[in-house]
Amino acid sequence: MRFVKIYDTTLRDGAQAEDITFILDDKLRIAKRLDDLGVHYIEGGWPGTNPKDDTFFKAVKTMRFSIAKIAAFGSTRKKGIAAENDQLLKALAAADTEVVTIFGKSWDVHVREALGCSPEENLAMIGDTLAYLRPGTRELFYDAEHFFDGFVADPDYALATLKAAAGSGADCIVLCDTNGGIMPWQLKDIIERVKKEIALPLGIHCHNDNGLGAANSLFAVEMGVDQVQGTINGYGERCGNANLCTIIPNLKIKMGIECISDTQLTRLKEVSRFVDGMANRVPDKHGPYVGESAFAHKGGIHASAVTKNPLTYEHIDPRLVGNEQRILVSDQSGHSNIRLKAKQLGIDLSAEDEKARQLLKNIKEMESKGYQFEGADASFELLVNRAIGRYKPSFRLRGFRTIVERRTGDKEPLSEATIMIDVDGRVEHTAATGNGPVNALDFAIRKALEKFYPELADMRLLDYKVRVITTEDGTAATVRVLIESGDKEDTWETLGVHPNIIQASWNALVDSIEYKLLKDEKKRRAKEGG
């Protein structure tokens, strides 16, 4: 069976994306997760260009990897300087990695205008650099930067740069679509020509500026390329790099080409979310294979069909990539949506169950008023438990008050919330301040409840969104508040709808707390039962 190696450049190329910065600890933790995923090569950075990368290559030597090899990245020697005197090449050698990847110019435009040298000198720079590194390097890769654009402009010269690398000790030559604009049929013709001229293994490195980064990478594999480069979640400059979260499952599941094991593939979504977290990015809900919505079904006909046979609306079993089927509940839902969603929560609602019919009726009425449960699974779970009589409120509200006061013109407004709650007959009355009325209310309610439920100390509000529902009503409009909360183990979403934004926020906050207590209680019962 054919095998393709995965080369990840998230820590170097991916970190060049706008608004992404990885600190040293982020890079080390991501590297470990990439190894768990089964990635074969991890490009850690460019030694000698910044202290963080130098520190990474020192720190990573203390780590043990099961599969991955660490690669250091660098460029050909500078014009007019011998390779052994180039300070960046010395730093690259000093990094002492198992793999070194060197990039050089393939496009005569870059040779003349970026390097400011002759085509002949560029060829010498490629050859000198690889020959200098070859004796002390276990695996030596050559990235032919801008190769496809260079080939279109001058095929003979572009091929001459590859021959210079091949003749100086490269183990693999990687063809780079650095501007991300090549079309699949162009790529096919060019790779066919390269294979006639170059006997070494080939790799592919695509960017996504034309939206075809992953597709071109897969097409290159179909043409016989042995190594695929890319980044987790497609991070990278401009429109990003080829997305390994799309490439890997397509290789393995769709093309039948081995790259990582079946077990490693089930970690794909987990790794995708982890890297998003390290990058402080909100995960793409609609991302292929790993997105929350990748296997989500909203229409009643769809939900009914997948309960009978998931293949009707799912191109793979989501468990293969660590994802799961989700049934969304909305005003487009049918009874099958409600039943299947409840079943996923461990609740059996038969088709003839009056509670199921009433629940669907209530949901449709609520959604007509602005509720949207498809983005708030935690609020839906609470709604189902209330409908079947399993819900026992953890506390009752006696009353709350919020005040926003600006005492002088040169100071920020003061926000304060007071709250009175009842927990099993015990009344708690507390107050708190915050940087807004909702923030103050959040602090006040948790301050009041933590003495009864200390586990709430682990809970945090992660995101807060407000959407105006009835825009025609102006400042009197109904609003939908969506809150994302989390603890050390999970995240969940709740919502509230009301013409008063404070009341809508209160409803979402209460659901968030109730869900936290409900899930912790379920875990306790499961542990005791086990």
The DSSP result for 309-364, as a single string, is -GGGT-SS-GGGGT---EE--STT--HHHHHHHHHHTT----TT-HHHHHHHHHHH
pTM, 2 dp:
0.75
8 Å CB contact between 46 and 71? no
Strands 426-434 and 41-45: unpaired
**Is 83 within a domain?**
yes
Same domain, 255 and 317: no
| Residue 462 pLDDT | 84
Q: Which of 218, 249, 278 is the last residue of a domain?
A: 278
If one counts every other C-beta atom within 10 angstroms of the C-beta of residue 502, the result is 18
- Extract the residue ranges of the chain whose pLDDT is less than 50: none
Same domain, 427 and 310: no
Same domain, 312 and 358: yes
DSSP-derived secondary structure for 67-91: S-EEEEEEEPPPTTS-GGG-HHHHH
Same domain, 363 and 263: no
Q: Which of 278, 311, 344 is the last residue of a domain?
A: 278
Same domain, 325 and 465: no
| Residue 465 pLDDT | 85
- List residues bridging with 470 in a β-sheet: none
* Domain extent for 142: 5-278
Same domain, 126 and 269: yes
**Residues 483, 489, 494: CA angle, nearest 5 degrees:** 20
| Residue 306 pLDDT | 78
Amino acid identity of 463?
Answer: D
Same domain, 258 and 315: no
| Residue 290 pLDDT | 96
**Is 123 within a domain?**
yes
